[in-house]
Amino acid sequence: MPRFAPIRRVVLLLGCLLPVIACCQEADFQYLTGLQIHQAGGWTEGPEWWSHERFNYLSDPLEPLRITSIRWQYDSWMEPDLNTNTDNTYAFPGLVDYDPGVASIRSPGQAHQGENTYRVSRISDGGCYLEDKYTENPWGQYHQKQIWYFYNNDMRLIRKIRRNSWPLEFWNYEYSLDAQGRRLLESVSSSPDSLNWTPRHSLQYVYGGEAVPAGYQFEKYSAYVPWVYSCGGTELPPFPYLNDNQVITAVVRRDHANVAWCEPDTFALDLVFSAEGATAAYRYGNFTWSNEGLPKSSELPGAEPYLGVIFTFANSATSAAQDPLLLSPPRARVSPNPSSGKARITFSHPKGGAARVRIYNLRGQLLEEKCLADLPPGTASLEWVAIDPRGGRLPNGVYLIQIEAADRVESICAALLR
């Protein structure tokens, strides 16, 4: 019996590792790496003001799905010749957890400019969103909005439920499909308690018989952009539903008001394909997609103020996490956590040399920065005393610690409880 013990241990070890290896290998997603927001106002004799915001999401090189900071660049002009230029980078506590068949990812939500909001998503290994939470809490608690997605056996969306927290309200979206998996009817209702539902509107999709070019995955990628964008009363409409197989030529909308259905309105959906992807004019908006079906941009050209958004995506297949034999350095840690005012920060620094440690609050404000020079290769540590820039005690709460060493940036959370 003893002579077989090593073999048994190897078999048991492989049994434990296989789910992890399989999960890592299947972690292949498109993910949002940034966006640009264009705004302008005053259309009578030309724009009286305009602004251009760029948000670039910076990730851990060894785990690109985990966002560590956000670079915000803002340029604006207002008549008469009032210019504003801003370029700031602030920490973001990105997170990605892998479970068999599902990844949980924390990414930016709707607000930026130093006040982080969060989108906490659960995504299947096939790239389909299963759940979304929009929250001001990085752990997804006390969420403002929550969305659940339900699919059939062919991974076609058949239902979506949205829960708004303030005021409490539920929205139910049900999708009727035909035998080809085409969406024929979208029925939308709302409820204050998820029990008593009131019809709100319906969308009927009209197909013209033209085939969509191969390779498009409009439906899967429809949830890849955050929930909503608005400015000065202008709100971008959501990307219209497009079928992966046949071209939709029109959408018939019926609204429900005063316990009765209104007369239907028919809106043309002008979808055009090119080598760069697809474009569509629908109602008052213009929309573009990549040649995979990823949303690229949306705008309301005739709105006052004008509002347009451009989205940028990348593929996580370059992640080192997909290769289970390539081990990343140990994660940074802070101990004790929570602390009562003093803690030790420990991090891996395989190459040695200089390192920089920054402490932020959850508003993205820099509280402390420590520059360490000529560190030996291996593990480094330093003491953190929880004081503000003026020497006063920091209040209880959660703080972000960003560690920049060589070509690697890592962020961890530390709780303070006196």
The residues with which 345 forms a beta bridge, in sequence order, are: 334, 382
Show the CA angle centred on residue 193, arms to residues 192 and 196, nearest 5°. Answer: 85
> Using one digit for the tens of pLDDT, what is the confidence trace for 160-210?
999 988 888 999 999 999 999 999 999 999 999 888 899 999 999 999 999
Residues 328 and 63: beta-carbon distance below 8 Å:
yes
Residues 350 and 377: beta-carbon distance below 8 Å:
yes
279-286: long-range contacts (C-beta < 8 A, 24 or more apart)? Answer: 280/240, 280/242, 282/237, 282/240, 282/251, 283/237, 284/237, 285/236, 285/237
The residues with which 315 forms a beta bridge, in sequence order, are: 30
Q: For residue 294, what are the contacts with CB-CB under 8 A and spacing of at least 6? A: 30, 221, 224, 311, 313
pLDDT > 70 in the chain, percent: 82
Number of alpha helices (DSSP H) and beta strands (DSSP E) in the chain: 2, 29
Span of 78-87, 129-138, 238-247, 285-294 with lowest mean pLDDT: 78-87
Q: Which CATH class is domain 27-322?
A: mainly beta
Residues 95 and 106: beta-carbon distance below 8 Å:
yes
Q: Which fold has domain 333-416?
A: Immunoglobulin-like (2.60.40)
Residues 316 and 28: beta-carbon distance below 8 Å:
yes
Closest CA to 30 of 280, 225, 227: 225
State whether residue 151 is helix, strand or coil.
strand
Alpha-carbon radius of gyration of the chain: 25
> Using one digit for the tens of pLDDT, what is the confidence trace for 360-379?
876 667 889 898 888 888 88
- Measured CA to CA, the distance from residue 358 to residue 34 in angstroms comes to 23
Tell me if domain 27-322 and domain 333-416 are identical in fold: no
Q: For residue 359, what are the contacts with CB-CB under 8 A and spacing of at least 6? A: 366, 367, 368, 369, 384, 399, 400, 401, 402
- Measured CA to CA, the distance from residue 286 to residue 52 in angstroms comes to 19
More confident residue, 251 or 236: 251
User: How many other C-beta atoms lie within 10 A of the C-beta of residue 368?
Assistant: 17
Residues 286 and 271: beta-carbon distance below 8 Å:
no
For residue 248, pLDDT beyond 80: yes
List the chain domain ranges: 27-322, 333-416
Q: pTM of the entire structure?
A: 0.68
